[in-house]
Amino acid sequence: MIMKILIIEDEHKVARALKEGLENAGYSVDIVHTGEEGFFLLNSEQYDLLLLDLMLPGRDGIEILKTVRKKDLNLPVLILTARDTVEDRVLGLDSGADDYLIKPFAFPELLARIRVLLRRGRENQTFQLQCADLEMDLIKRKVRRAGENIILTLREFDLLEYLLRHKDQIVSREMLARDVWHETNRATPIDNLIDVHIARLRRKIDEPFEIKLLHTVRGVGFILSEEAP
């Protein structure tokens, strides 16, 4: 999963340099030059981190920060500021920034701060799914059972992720067709296809193990659970 960063910075050259550096480091980056544009994107897109310049034309950084904090408490915000005064730093942190850097700064320092904030932000979110000793890591896209790696195809992974997110709930073939195969035309029967994938998944995650987790609920669908239905 690629982390998405939004940069709100009115100096075009600085913004471009930041974007290039961050993209080289493996992040996906959007740039905007005004608070208004930034606000529009924050409302329409999902970001993992906001890099925010304090001195902006129009709505300034502190105003944006306050509005962001009213809406989304988890988005990590790193302030970039040229105004190296104690009052500005305090103001930024009081308004809900997670960290700040004074311009000019060394790029590796920025990367280090971003890594810390992303790690911290991640702890609040679900990137690990689990049922008994079956574990899925959504970031590394790895599945393990009883500590052993299990290799899944893309579709099997999506299918298992869906079942894990609905652990202990019955999942119907209609739900799988709609949410995993994105097949909305009900005239297209893909029940057989679903059953084939369920059988393959079962061979990988259940067959070598004594306790079975993936159960068929006759006439209804499937359930991933430690207990047989």
Is 53 near Ca ion (CB under 5 A)?
yes
Instruction: Report the alpha-carbon distance of residue 208 to residue 32 in Å, rounded.
Output: 52
Q: Is 193 in the site for Ca ion (CB under 5 A)?
A: no
**Minimal distance in Å, beta carbon 57 to Ca ion?**
8
Q: Which of 25, 55, 102, 118 binds Ca ion (CB under 5 A)?
A: 55
Least gap, CB of 47 to Ca ion (angstroms):
20
Query: Which of these segments, 36-44, 45-53, 180-188, 206-214, binds Ca ion (CB under 5 A)?
Result: 45-53
Smallest distance, Å, CB 185 to Ca ion? 51
What is the x/- site pattern for Ca ion, positions 9-38, by CB under 5 A?
Answer: -x----------------------------
48 makes contact with Ca ion (CB under 5 A): no
> Nearer Cβ to Ca ion, position 55 or 111?
55
Should residue 88 be labelled a site residue for Ca ion when binding is judged by CB under 5 A?
A: no
**Whose Cβ is closer to Ca ion: residue 54's or residue 201's?**
54
Using CB under 5 A, list all residues that contact Ca ion: 10, 53, 55
